[in-house]
Amino acid sequence: LVYQNLVQGAVYRHTLQQADRYAQAALETDPGDAALWLIRGRLALANGLPNAAHEYIGQALALGFPRERLVPWLAEADFLRGDYARVKQLLASLGNAAALPTLKPVVKYWS
């Protein structure tokens, strides 16, 4: 619902809170699940919490989640924190690895 922008307002916030609650509960069972840390990071970004997002996505990276898939999310967190130099550095590190057509213009702009 959130990722497809199908909800707004109170329903949007409720959906984010519930999804994060379930992700937290799952991580209590398996704190080594990198994909769940990424989910928490994306939820934190949607909630406007870039510092928490950076922490959670960093945890996913530490647990072995592919760096190339995390860089756009880390860059978004840094953008929201106002660290534009880091955004440029992160996106430039992708180089030609930015295989997604929708991501290529962003990488080109920041590089």
- The answer for residues whose C-beta is within 8 angstroms of residue 13's C-beta and 6 or more apart is 47
Q: What do you get for the CA distance between the two ends of the chain, in Å?
A: 33
pLDDT at 98: 60
CB-CB neighbours of 21 under 10 Å: 11
Structure tokens at 34: 């990198």
Q: Could you report the average pLDDT of every consecutive run of 10 residues in the chain (111 residues)?
A: 81 92 96 97 95 97 95 95 95 74 83 77
* Burial status of residue 57 (CB atoms within 10 A of its CB: 0-12, 13-18, 19 or more): buried
pTM, 2 dp: 0.87
pLDDT at 64: 97
